[in-house]
Structure 1
């Protein structure tokens, strides 16, 4: 449902990426703009949730999600690869989480220059609380779409991912913030 000149998605009071499409643009460009718009709209909902309910950021939550499945911890380089951001970004986020006692750095015996980042008990509890709220918000976001349509969309996006994007993506599950 799109007003192609001003509002992008009908009912939104601000232009979105999809509104950049012009008459005559190719279907693949219009599809990309729609995917980008939907992704940003959902991401903005999740950012708002993290900010308003937990006074944190989505990147901090994402890093904690990676660590939730790695009780022994992960190296900074592995976190960087999984989250598809620079080592510097990971260092900054880890520093913030460490100041809040949500993660700790653990030396690696075999490599004095390396350390692992892992959740503290406080971090695990905090993540569980945030993760439950996150999953509920995702559910609210997609609840308006019947489950059959969700499954179809999931399958279509899997085709897109498999068609050439997979070589650039992290391993399955490596970028999922939905772990408890």
Structure 2
């Protein structure tokens, strides 16, 4: 009679024995993988369904939340991208009639950008599609899992925000 084959530990057992730093690293990699997967799908589908890009969607979203508009510098700061990146997107959106550029009183160099009525309608259509698409991509997360997941990610964001010394 031969000796029984040694049992190989399953993933849960390995994770339980791993140091917290390894488990946290595993969590980070899973979050990154999930984010990249969803973002790639949204990028592809925005292009095919709406003839748009994710950066254009982000600019429209930021301006939709601020009906009076934003200075170009505020817009680039809000989106955490360079002024040059925002300028190119805004120029294309203006050429399509989705945004308008307005002079800032008292500052000849500054421009404020806001959505046109056409831009508001365009974004509202895309935002409805975006919400439905994200809902579909995350359909395997149950109602009971949502609040704890949202709170966990919010806590991670707050912890990092506090560690950086920002309020």
Residue 159 of structure 1 deviates from its aligned partner by 1.3
Structure 2 counterpart of 1:79, from 75, 78, 82: 75
Residue 31 of structure 1 deviates from its aligned partner by 1.6
**Higher helix proportion, which one?**
2
Structure 2 counterpart of 1:147, from 136, 143, 150: 143
Partner of 1:174: none
Which structure is higher in RCO with an 8 Å CA cutoff and minimum separation 6? 1
Q: Closer, same or farther in 2 for the Cα pair 1:167/1:119, shift >3 Å?
A: farther
| Rounded Cα–Cα distance in structure 1 between residues aligned with 2:60 and 2:35 | 21
Partner of 1:89: 85
Gaps of 5+ in 2: 1-17
Q: What TM-score results when the alignment is normalised by the length of structure 2?
A: 0.81
| Rounded Cα–Cα distance in structure 1 between residues aligned with 2:79 and 2:163 | 15
| Larger Rg, first or second structure (1 or 2) | 2
Structure 2 counterpart of 1:37, from 33, 47, 52: 33
Residue 167 of structure 1 deviates from its aligned partner by 7.1
Q: Closer, same or farther in 2 for the Cα pair 1:154/1:79, shift >3 Å?
A: same
Give me the CA root mean square deviation. Answer: 2.1
Q: What TM-score results when the alignment is normalised by the length of structure 1?
A: 0.76
| Rounded Cα–Cα distance in structure 1 between residues aligned with 2:49 and 2:25 | 36
Gaps of 5+ in 1: 1-22, 172-180
Which 4+ residue blocks in structure 1 deviate beyond 3 angstroms? 165-168
| Rounded Cα–Cα distance in structure 1 between residues aligned with 2:53 and 2:163 | 28
Partner of 1:131: 127
